Amino acid sequence: MLGLHNYQDGAYAEDLANYHERSHADDWFGTEAMDVLVGWTKNLCSSKDLPGCSVLDIGTGSGRLLQQLAKQGFSDLTGIDYSEAAIELARNLAIRDGFEHINFLVDDVLESKLERRFELVMDEGTLDAIGLHPDGPVKRMMYWQSVASLVSPGGILVITSCSRTKDELVQEVENFNQRKLGTTLSEGALASDVVVFKYLDHVQAYPNVDGVCIATVAFLHT
């Protein structure tokens, strides 16, 4: 059900009706785990000018991650979600919590209409949800193709998953790189021209979140 658009819309519509009372602590990703992710991400971007670093959150949901990144000094923040209810919820929560500057857009990462690239692209569970769709394997391949066009050269992609281990995510990226390489060579281009992702770092450990195993991996767009 988590992989279906109608289910996501319904879930966020319910949250939207009660957003004045809603706490971000209600999100599946616990407060302690979020603190680990955000602190680690800030350190990962230590060489960047944080206020000027463009950030995209794929499948932003309630927008909680972007709010937490804003508290760390990031200011060029954009969140996308294919659920209109999610985006309306995220906008309302951002206004309620004093983060009006965060930009939220209805956009499907698999068919993204965005016309810019970002230095930091975050995914907190969206790839997981895509994989739960009946056409999950095909849609996961579409995901990587789309994300490759959203991360700036030299930019960073950070994926957080509760259904894949760090090694499995690294292998999935390597599979994408190999598909990209094969396509490029068949078109007569040079292997050096292939746009690929390279493993950069990962979160070593998270606090226990209801027994869920969480993996967060960063990839450099080369």
- The pLDDT tens digits for 33-76 are 999 999 999 999 999 999 999 999 999 999 999 999 999 999 99
What are the residues whose beta carbons fall under 8 Å from the beta carbon of 52, sequence distance 6 or more? 75, 76
Query: Residue 3: pLDDT above 50?
Result: no
How far is Cα 83 from Cα 147, in angstroms, rounded to an integer?
18
The burial class, CB within 10 Å (0-12 / 13-18 / 19+), for 142 is: middle
- The pLDDT tens digits for 96-115 are 999 999 999 999 999 999 99
Q: Which option is the CATH number for 2-221: 3.40.50.150, 3.30.70.1560, 3.10.20.70, 3.30.360.10?
A: 3.40.50.150
91 neighbors 103 (Cβ within 8 angstroms):
no
pLDDT at 176: 94
How far is Cα 30 from Cα 125, in angstroms, rounded to an integer?
13
Residue extents of the structural domains in the chain: 2-221
Overall pTM > 0.85: yes
Dmax (CA) for the chain in angstroms is: 58
DSSP state of 204: -
